Amino acid sequence: MASSSSGDDEPLGALFRRAEGERAAVEASWPTSASYGTRVSETLALYERVQAGVSSLSVFSRNEAIDDVATGSLPLLRVEAHIAEMEMRLPASSSSSSSSSSSSSFSEKMRTSSSSSSSSLLTEDTTEFRKKALRRARDAYGRFLDLVDAHRLVSPPYDALLERFRNGPATFAVVHEAVGAAKRRDAKIAAFRADKELRRKRDEAFRTRRRLVRNEDEDEDADVHVHVHVEDEEALRRFYLAELELAVHASFHAVEGINRELDLLAQAPLPQQQQHPSSATSEESSRLDHPLGPNSSNNSRQGGGGGGGGGPLLSRSGKPLQPFTLVGSRADRSRAVFRPGHNLPTMSVDDYLAEERRRGGILDRAAAAPQPRPRLKGEEEEEEEEEEAATYKARAWDDFKDENPRGSGNTLNMG
């Protein structure tokens, strides 16, 4: 690994290790934490300084094979992928550093943006900032894929994906939407299995290297130490190459996710401009209903419920003087305004009663009470005869009970 970058006193290796440590801290922190945006910005600044050092020192040459690259320089091949990852992690609050090329120093952007007022930084549209960050991330992934392809590290089936990505980065997808759902499902399963296999290969290489390092610390023989050191470097190289292979796999899927998010952002509605405080008065005057209470500014409530301010609600005779709606309380009326199902009155109480009376829904008591039917002379005589017959029958029954008291009947020849 190169010693130092031009124009920077810190060695390139130390700068890269510091960036890797900050990236691990970012991955371990919560995106909702207060310091997350600052930490991501600082990590992005470190990786951009590392990339600037790699470019100025010409660490890599597109004419050399991967076997010609030093083992210690292999991790630097993934710097552009780390830059893309940090760009995607940038929260909307970091919009102060929205536009610049990837080769420029991010710390310089931060110093430039700090000179502007904080109020101007908060006015940038977060949707546009997100679009710019995603496009920068896609460009960084493209530079990473071009670099590893120059060293012939893009093997099948990823070489076909790289060709499609170069033909149309903005429309790239691992699986086209035109294919059927079954093929998309099979492609997702294959991608999951490939990711799992690449991670297993990387972890196995890491365990092998750690075991060799442990054996190197235990052995004291010089010949054995040299042999283990050679094996350790080979294991370390296999580990770095496995990480690069996994990064290539993840880059294509990340680009597909970026394009999908950009499509969603393109279909999102335009952000509404903040209303000026003076518009509150015009908004209040344009309301169909006005605030309830004795201190209301408008005394004539048009179609409102509750009637106050414009005079008495009922006349002395009980006739409604204002249209109103009966509710449980004024608070219920106030909460229900402009909610689904809320309707303003369309007629007065008198109009409603007249309509119900016309439809037959209201009956007068005098008209509804049953009137007695006039009785005929013959009917009266029949009723008198029936009453006399009932009277004679009752008297005969009383006489029978007096002559035959209870228990005076047949006593079964016992008395």
Q: Where are the domains of the chain?
A: 12-114+124-267, 304-358
pLDDT of residue 377: 72
Q: What is the pLDDT of residue 10?
A: 81
User: What is residue 67's predicted lDDT score, i.e. its pLDDT?
Assistant: 86
Question: What would the pLDDT profile of 241-280 be if each residue is shown by its tens digit?
Answer: 888 999 999 999 999 999 999 998 888 776 555 445 555 5
Mean per-residue pLDDT of the chain? 74
**What is the Cα gyration radius of the chain?**
46
Average pLDDT value for residue range 311-326:
71
Q: What is the pLDDT of residue 210?
A: 67
At residue 402, what are phi and psi to the nearest 5 degrees?
-70, -40
Residue 5 pLDDT greater than 70, yes or no: no
Q: What is the pLDDT of residues 135-164, one digit of tens each?
A: 999 999 999 999 999 988 888 888 889 999
Distance CA 37, CA 32 (A): 9
Q: Write b or e for each residue in 55-91: b if 16 or more Cβ atoms lie within 10 A of its Cβ, otherwise e.
A: eebebbeeeeeeeebeeebbbbbbbbbbbbbbbbbbb
Of 304, 308, 343, give the one whose Cα is nearest residue 324.
304
Q: What is the pLDDT of residues 210-250, one digit of tens each?
A: 665 555 454 444 443 333 345 677 888 888 888 899 999 99
Domain 12-114+124-267 carries which CATH code?
1.25.40.540
pLDDT for 307: 47
Q: Nearest-CA neighbor of 306 among 287, 286, 320?
A: 320
Highest mean pLDDT among 99-108, 198-207, 279-288, 367-376: 198-207
pTM of the prediction? 0.55
- The Cβ of residue 243 has, within 10 Å, a number of other Cβ atoms equal to 20
Q: Which of 28-42, 289-303, 349-363, 375-389 has the lowest mean pLDDT?
A: 289-303
As a three-state string, the secondary structure of the chain is CCCECCCCCCEHHHHHHHHHHHHHHHHHCCCCCCCHHHHHHHHHHHHHHHHHHHHHHCCCCCCCCHHHCCHHHHHHHHHHHHHHHHHHHCCHHHHHHCCCCCCCCHHHHHHHHHCCCHHHHCCCCHHHHHHHHHHHHHHHHHHHHHHHHHCCCCCCCHHHHHHHHHHCHHHCCCCCCCCCHHHHHHHHHHHHHHHHHHHHHHHHHHHHHHHHHHHHHHCCCHHHHHHHHHHHHHHHHHHHHHHHHHHHHHHHHHHHHHHHHHHHHHHCCCCCCCCCCCHHHHHHHCCCCCCCCCCCCCCCCCCCCCCCCCCCCECCCCCECCCCCCCCCHHHHHHCCCCCCCCCCCCCHHHHHHHHHHHCCCCCHHHHCCCCCCCCHHHHHHHHHHHHHHHHHHHHHHHHHHHCCCCCCCCCCCC
- Asked if 240 and 69 count as a contact pair (C-beta separation under 8 A), the reply is no
Q: Does residue 204 surpass a pLDDT of 80?
A: no
pLDDT attached to residue 317: 73
pLDDT digits (tens, 9 = 90+) for 23-32: 999 988 888 8
The per-residue pLDDT for 257 is 92
Average pLDDT estimate for 199-204: 79
